[in-house]
């Protein structure tokens, strides 16, 4: 790892000042992606601004039908939260199956979505549940937040504060995981809401996206059988040593059917 200057601000405002004034600064949340990337020398920031001491970025609050999760909330905290388990059990289950227990103790929701790994789990949940990302400047719809591989709508010096999740009628996330990394080879998140079915997939293409065609297929018949003939576009699927494009297209349908079944 190349050397850098380390900062540990106590407030979002202070962190925003630090990142704005750094030559090539990086915010670090749990560091479970950034530190390995820096060890490989694929990233070499001049300044690392650790968000770990900022109390206002933590915590889980349920207010009516909105579950608010602070950006620095760890995957382990979301998985173990009675409030999340009650309001959106699929979200608690998703968080409890990211990486491994030690990674879940450090990794955070804010770090995960800001990184936007093409195979990350949380992005699919934000899109399908119609979540809203709140930053120190504005609110961004989950659907508009994920822009491409490791790209988001965030400005260089913008800081995620929290994510608001509306409570669905039912939801489920199914992923076919890489057995070593637990990243999704394909993951599909399905939510049944008052406005109809919402769906998103991850791991299949450049990053998580809303699955409009899955939603249309479920519009009149919210059942696994409604997806029996569903074909994901093979030419848009990722292909790598873990799975071919054809296999990923197949997995989109199978994971979607399982997620719909689990919503029942």
Is residue 148 at the binding interface for other proteins, with CB under 8 A as the rule?
no
Is residue 52 at the binding interface for other proteins, with CB under 8 A as the rule?
yes
Is residue 39 at the binding interface for other proteins, with CB under 8 A as the rule?
yes
Nearest to 128 by CA among 94, 86, 176, 179: 94
Is residue 247 at the binding interface for other proteins, with CB under 8 A as the rule?
no
**Maximum alpha-carbon separation in the chain:** 57
| Nearer to other proteins (CB atom), residue 1 or residue 228 | 1
Q: How far apart are CA 20 and CA 137, in angstroms?
A: 13
User: Which residue is associated with the tokens 């905290």?
Assistant: 77
Is residue 81 at the binding interface for other proteins, with CB under 8 A as the rule?
no
Interface residues for other proteins in 154-183 (CB under 8 A)? Answer: 180-182
Is residue 55 at the binding interface for other proteins, with CB under 8 A as the rule?
no
Is residue 58 at the binding interface for other proteins, with CB under 8 A as the rule?
no
Q: How far is the CB of 252 from other proteins (least distance, A)?
A: 25
Q: How far is the CB of 234 from other proteins (least distance, A)?
A: 31
Size of the site for other proteins (CB under 8 A): 28
Q: What is the DSSP string of 119-160?
A: T-SHHHHHHHTT-EEEESS-EEEHHHHEEETTEES--TT--E
Using the contact rule CB under 8 A, the part of the chain among 28-36, 58-66, 144-152, 219-227 near other proteins is 28-36
Position among 93, 99, 242, 254 found at the interface with other proteins (CB under 8 A): 99
Q: Which residues pair with 68 in a beta bridge?
A: 61, 164
Report the Cα–Cα distance between both ends of the chain, in Å, rounded: 48
Nearest to 120 by CA among 48, 70, 178, 69: 178
Q: Please give the angle made by the CA atoms of 171, 174 and 179, to the nearest 5 degrees.
A: 150
Q: How far is the CB of 175 from other proteins (least distance, A)?
A: 14
Query: Residue numbers of the site for other proteins (CB under 8 A)?
Result: 1-6, 8, 31-32, 35-36, 38-39, 48, 50, 52, 76, 80, 99-103, 105-106, 180-182
């Amino acid at each position: 790892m190349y050397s850098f200057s380390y900062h540990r601000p106590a407030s979002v405002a202070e962190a925003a000042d630090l990142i704005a004034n750094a030559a090539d600064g990086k915010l670090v949340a749990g560091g479970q992606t950034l530190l390995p990337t820096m060890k490989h020398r694929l990233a070499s920031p001049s300044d690392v601004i650790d968000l770990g001491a900022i109390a206002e970025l933590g915590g889980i609050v349920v207010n009516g039908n909105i579950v608010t999760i602070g950006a620095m909330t760890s995957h382990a905290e979301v998985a173990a939260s009675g409030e999340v388990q009650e309001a959106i059990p699929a979200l608690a289950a998703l968080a409890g199956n990211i990486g491994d227990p030690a990674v879940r103790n450090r990794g955070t929701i804010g770090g995960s979505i800001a990184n936007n790994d093409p195979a990350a789990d949380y992005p699919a949940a934000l899109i399908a549940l119609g979540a809203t990302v709140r930053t120190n400047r504005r609110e961004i719809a989950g659907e508009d937040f994920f822009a491409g591989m490791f790209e988001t709508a965030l400005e260089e010096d913008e800081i995620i504060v929290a994510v608001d999740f509306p409570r669905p009628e039912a939801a489920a996330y199914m992923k076919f995981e890489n057995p070593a990394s637990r990243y999704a080879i394909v993951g599909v998140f399905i939510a049944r809401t008052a406005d109809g079915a919402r769906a998103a997939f991850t791991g299949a293409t450049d990053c998580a996206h809303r699955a409009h065609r899955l939603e249309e297929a479920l519009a009149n018949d919210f059942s696994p059988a409604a997806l029996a003939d569903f074909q994901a576009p093979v030419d848009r699927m990722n292909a790598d040593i873990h799975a071919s494009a054809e296999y990923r297209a197949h997995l989109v349908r199978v994971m979607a059917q399982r997620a719909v079944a689990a919503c029942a």
